[in-house]
Amino acid sequence: MEHDLTRRPRRLRRDGLRNLVSETTLHASDLIAPIFVDATTDERVAIPSMPGHERVPVEEATARVEEVLSSGIETVIIFGIPASKDAEGTRAWADDGVVQRATRAITTETTATVITDVCMCEYTDHGHCGILEPDARNDGTLTVANDPTLDRLGEIAVSHADAGADMVAPSSMTDGMVGAIRDTLDGAGYASVPIMSYAAKYESSFYGPFRDAADGAPAFGDRRHYQMDPANTTEALEEVRLDVEQGADVLMIKPALPYLDIISEIDAEFSQPVAAYNVSGEYAMLQAAADRGWLDLEASAHESLLSIKRAGADLILSYFAEQLAPSLPA
């Protein structure tokens, strides 16, 4: 025989042996379930592009979280649809705002760990992730005013901490957002509330279903002037480095599946826990294919999340969390 077959990897692939040498296991405790709370409705509203998900009224937020808890998932991230929107996004930091009310109820009435998304796009009538100013070229276009937005993000984070949030997750890709939020939280007596930064958030076409769900699509233009170019890796490392310097406790990469290389590099380079957001488009793709009988939903969802973990993510935010948890180890 020409080739050496003393090493035969197939020997360990037999049933009864393959589990012993399995390198990665997905646990229910790795997963975070997104929840949509809607102040404009008094009944649950299905989200057509995200089958199995719905917007729930504030009064049902705890009931919704109890459903998630009964699946074995212990952590939720809350997104809010406010009763009204304006140019400044003022409902984002209102003490009686949708996320604040829901967080207060969930943290007092359930055992869930609550993370809140800190951003303005669901609260501004223009749908951008901050307050606007004319672009530097003065050609009539508007862009997010970076530094004035930082103060608002700090106020939003403090209002979430006041409501009992266990961790805040800024997602606006504003330069300096982690440092500004850290300072504001510390100043308000919340030095122990951690920040999970959406550190490398790409300007992705995979957010479409979420923007339907949270009613957060930009009314004009796009988010290219603040979210990252999908072509860039070095820039992701720089974004993450800046967030680490500013005090980020958990580093999130978003989306997940098309960016496994980024997850893996960030995990290798930094000691902080890495989170990955398996976004709405990643969920919708598998749902649509499964709906046509082209893919096995549970198997393809499990393989997707396992791959994200194998790439280096410690925490995974996913719309599949609740569905997969009952078949996962704790």
DSSP state of 229: P
Print burial letters for 194-218: b (CB count within 10 Å at least 16), e (below 16).
bbbbbbbbbebebbebbbbbbbbee
- In angstroms, the CA 119 to CA 97 distance is 13
| 287-306 footprint of ligand PBG as x/- string (CB under 6 A) | --------------------
Non-local CB neighbours of 155 within 8 Å, separated by 6+ positions: 93, 184
Q: Taking CB under 6 A as the criterion, which residues in 211-240 touch ligand PBG?
A: 211, 216
Using CB under 6 A, count the residues that bind ligand PBG: 11
Q: Of 14-22, 66-74, 116-124, 293-301, which part binds ligand PBG (CB under 6 A)? A: 116-124
Report if residue 92 touches ligand PBG, rule: CB under 6 A.
no
What is each CA distance from 112 to 36, 64, 70, 102, 327, in whole angstroms?
15, 11, 11, 12, 20
**Looking at 104, 126, 223, 254, which residue is catalytic?**
254
**Looking at 201, 204, 216, 323, which residue is catalytic?**
201
Query: Which of 119, 181, 185, 199 contacts ligand PBG by CB under 6 A?
Result: 119
Q: Taking CB under 6 A as the criterion, which residues in 158-177 touch ligand PBG?
A: 171
Query: Which of 207, 226, 259, 320 contacts ligand PBG by CB under 6 A?
Result: 207
What is each CA distance from 92 to 45, 85, 120, 290, 295, in whole angstroms?
21, 9, 6, 36, 39
User: Residue 156's Cα: distance from chain center in Å?
Assistant: 17
Q: Of 80-88, 175-183, 210-218, 307-315, which part binds ligand PBG (CB under 6 A)? A: 210-218
Nearer to ligand PBG, 191 or 220 (CB): 220
* Cα-only R_g, the chain: 21
Which structure tokens are listed for 55? Answer: 């917007």
Query: Which of 30, 54, 74, 117 contacts ligand PBG by CB under 6 A?
Result: 117
Residue 254 is a catalytic residue: yes
**Residue 116 CB, nearest approach to ligand PBG (Å):** 11
Report if residue 197 touches ligand PBG, rule: CB under 6 A.
no
Query: Which of 184, 280, 318, 323 contacts ligand PBG by CB under 6 A?
Result: 280
Report if residue 32 touches ligand PBG, rule: CB under 6 A.
no
Nearer to ligand PBG, 105 or 119 (CB): 119
Of 183, 186, 154, 185, nearest in space to 170 by CA:
154
Task: Identify whether the C-beta of residue 56 lies closer than 8 Å to the C-beta of residue 37.
Answer: yes
| 255-274 footprint of ligand PBG as x/- string (CB under 6 A) | --------------------
The residues facing 277 across adjacent strands are 317
Report if residue 121 touches ligand PBG, rule: CB under 6 A.
yes
- In angstroms, the CA 78 to CA 44 distance is 15
Nearer to ligand PBG, 179 or 216 (CB): 216
- In angstroms, the CA 274 to CA 217 distance is 27
Report if residue 129 touches ligand PBG, rule: CB under 6 A.
yes
* Active site amino acids: 201, 254
Give the footprint of ligand PBG on this chain (CB under 6 A): 117, 119, 121, 129, 171, 207, 210-211, 216, 279-280
